[in-house]
Amino acid sequence: MLTLSEYDQQNLVTFLRDLVATPSVSGHEKDVAERVKQEMEKLRFDEVWVDRAGNVIGRIGPGAGSKLLFDAHMDTVDVGDPKTWQHDPFGAEIESGMLYGRGACDMKGALASMVYGAALLKQSGLPLAGDLYVAAVVQEEPCEGCAVRLLIEEEGIRPDWVVLGEPSNLQVSRGHRGRLELCVTVKGRAAHASMPQQGDNAIYNAARLIFALDLLASSLPEDPFLGKGTLAVTQINNTSGSRNAIPDSCTMIIDRRLTLGETETKAVAEVQSAVIREGIRAEICVTEYHMVSYTGLECIVPQRYPAWMLPESHPLVQTVAWAVRQVIGEKPIIGRYNFSTDGAYTMGTAGIPTVGFGPGEETQAHAADEHIRLADCFTAARVYALLAADLLHELESWGARQNR
Ligand SMILES: [Zn+2]
């Protein structure tokens, strides 16, 4: 049961090729969203709609009971330098069972698998006691969690469980570090550069702070599962009246990865302490992302994404691992993501049990000649269908549970 027919496999490939052939860099997902909606309608989802942000949502189930959310983003990062690609980034070429193109792995492959997994559940006719939602969201790449937040807080879909399709190479991911972006403006005093002693050079003050931050970075805590917190200064800019003026301010951006137990308050306080120790003046704030969706919806989102982790013993982790074992025949590795995902919101902020499972390798994400193995998409679709059946089935006699 819950196996994709030859016909379904062909349709999944056609759908995935269309998704990859349709450019959808963040903020420009309109065309791909239309294609997703069309496929969900063709596959007879019980309800399909597009929300204010442009997310496409498909529902299968009775319209009551528990809710399971499959989350996949439609947007991709840019191609980068096309000369570094051997394959056309939008050609959706298939070679030796691999499909090539921007977004193939991150994460149109998972999106197609989730849509077909849901269709498989629908086709099975299994009576459901709850709903499966497949959400194809916008703008995850620049601002993970912001579109899924709108879905949950404004569309009123409060799921009991979330499954992220981000590439995990068919293994199970149950957490990742958090991310915080800080802007630090170091102050100085302007003067003519011929008399530097008359001023207070903001660049020199910033340099002292940067050395202090480098020292701080080496002493950040390490979590045995999620790894070490990190800190990196990634951009620096200054204001000065001209090249022969002492700059009166210097602004830097800090990329801070938070491990378990680290909070925004802690991370800001650490930078503040470094500022005080160096005897300089500086303002510290969390940066904001200004999102404008293809539907014209605007929102301003602070760049703070908490770390999260779901215990290995959690029933959701165990259900996904069980479904993988049923389909693949071996126990998956239960690990974590290196990158940040929508889980930062769903589990990190909203506290909804969240787990990651997707086809494709993490290292393919954002890379030139990005690709995905088609067989892995078929496998993923079956796993998605099976885990949804197990979480949402109505009948007590759903025998598969007994096999654990
Ligand atoms: Zn992704």
Half-sphere exposure in the Cβ direction for 6 (13 Å, CA): 0
- Return the closest-CA partner of residue 388 out of 312, 320, 341: 320
Class of domain 180-291: alpha beta
* H helix intervals, 172-330: 202-218, 264-277, 315-328
What contacts 79, CB < 8 A, 6 or more positions away? 85, 89, 102
Q: Which two tokens stand for residue 94?
A: 């298939």
Beta strands in 61-176 (DSSP E): 66-73, 94-95, 98-100, 130-137, 161-164, 172-173, 175-176
CA angle at residue 393 from 391 to 399, to 5 degrees? 95
At residue 398 the predicted structure's pLDDT band, cuts being 50, 70 and 90, is: low
- Residue 277 C-alpha to ligand 1 middle, in angstroms? 39
pLDDT at 72: 98
Residues 239-249: what's their mean pLDDT?
Answer: 91
What contacts 182, CB < 8 A, 6 or more positions away? 253, 254, 256, 267, 268, 271, 284, 285, 286, 287
The string over 236-262, giving b where at least 16 C-beta atoms fall within 10 Å of a residue's C-beta and e elsewhere, is eebebeeeeebbbbbbbbbebbbbbeb
- Residue 74 C-alpha to ligand 1 middle, in angstroms? 9
Q: Count the residues in the chain.
A: 404
- Residue 203 C-alpha to ligand 1 middle, in angstroms? 36
pLDDT at 259: 97
Residues 182-208: what's their mean pLDDT?
Answer: 97
- Residue 235 C-alpha to ligand 1 middle, in angstroms? 24
| Distance, CA of 170 to CA of 113 (rounded, Å) | 12
- Residue 105 C-alpha to ligand 1 middle, in angstroms? 8
At residue 363 the predicted structure's pLDDT band, cuts being 50, 70 and 90, is: confident
- Residue 129 C-alpha to ligand 1 middle, in angstroms? 30
Residue-wise pLDDT tens digits, 275-306: 999 999 999 999 999 989 999 999 899 999 99
- Residue 43 C-alpha to ligand 1 middle, in angstroms? 25
Rounded to 5 degrees, φ, ψ at 310 are -105, 130
Asked if residue 21 has pLDDT above 80, the reply is yes
Quick one: CA torsion of 45, 50, 54, 60, rounded to 10 degrees? -30
pLDDT at 2: 86
- Return the closest-CA partner of residue 123 out of 385, 396, 401: 385
- Residue 194 C-alpha to ligand 1 middle, in angstroms? 51
3-class DSSP state of 206: helix
- Residue 107 C-alpha to ligand 1 middle, in angstroms? 5
Topology of domain 6-176+307-403, CATH: Aminopeptidase (3.40.630)
Give the range among 42-46, 98-102, 207-211, 366-370 with minimum mean pLDDT. 366-370
How confident is the prediction for the chain on average, in pLDDT? Answer: 95
Kindly calculate the radius of gyration of the chain based on its CA atoms and give it in whole angstroms: 24
Residue-wise pLDDT tens digits, 115-164: 999 999 999 999 999 999 999 999 999 899 999 999 999 888 999 999 99
- Return the closest-CA partner of residue 60 out of 74, 43, 37: 43
Long-range CB pairs of 77-86 (<8 Å, 24+ gap) are 77/25, 77/26, 77/102, 77/106, 77/141, 77/366, 78/25, 78/102, 80/368, 81/368, 84/368, 85/368, 85/369, 86/368, 86/369
Asked if residue 399 has pLDDT above 90, the reply is no
- Residue 26 C-alpha to ligand 1 middle, in angstroms? 11
| Distance, CA of 390 to CA of 399 (rounded, Å) | 10
- Residue 148 C-alpha to ligand 1 middle, in angstroms? 13
Residue-wise pLDDT tens digits, 317-347: 999 999 999 999 999 999 999 999 999 999 9
Rounded to 5 degrees, φ, ψ at 184 are -115, 120
pLDDT at 146: 92
Asked if residue 400 has pLDDT above 60, the reply is no
pLDDT at 396: 62
Residue-wise pLDDT tens digits, 206-241: 999 999 999 999 999 999 999 999 999 999 998 887
3-class DSSP state of 327: helix
The string over 77-95, giving b where at least 16 C-beta atoms fall within 10 Å of a residue's C-beta and e elsewhere, is bebeeeeebebebeebbee
The domain spans of the chain are 6-176+307-403, 180-291
Residues 351-375: what's their mean pLDDT?
Answer: 94
Catalytic positions: 75, 140
pLDDT at 240: 81
Asked if residue 403 has pLDDT above 70, the reply is no
Residues 3-9: what's their mean pLDDT?
Answer: 95
Torsional sign, CA 279, 282, 284, 287:
negative
Beta strands in 51-137 (DSSP E): 56-60, 66-73, 94-95, 98-100, 130-137
Amino acid at residue number 279: G
Asked if residue 94 has pLDDT above 60, the reply is yes
pLDDT at 106: 95
Half-sphere exposure in the Cβ direction for 294 (13 Å, CA): 21
Give the range among 42-51, 195-204, 211-220, 239-248 with minimum mean pLDDT. 239-248
At residue 364 the predicted structure's pLDDT band, cuts being 50, 70 and 90, is: confident
Q: Is 253 within 8 Å of 182 (Cβ atoms)?
A: yes
- Residue 143 C-alpha to ligand 1 middle, in angstroms? 11
| Distance, CA of 166 to CA of 155 (rounded, Å) | 23
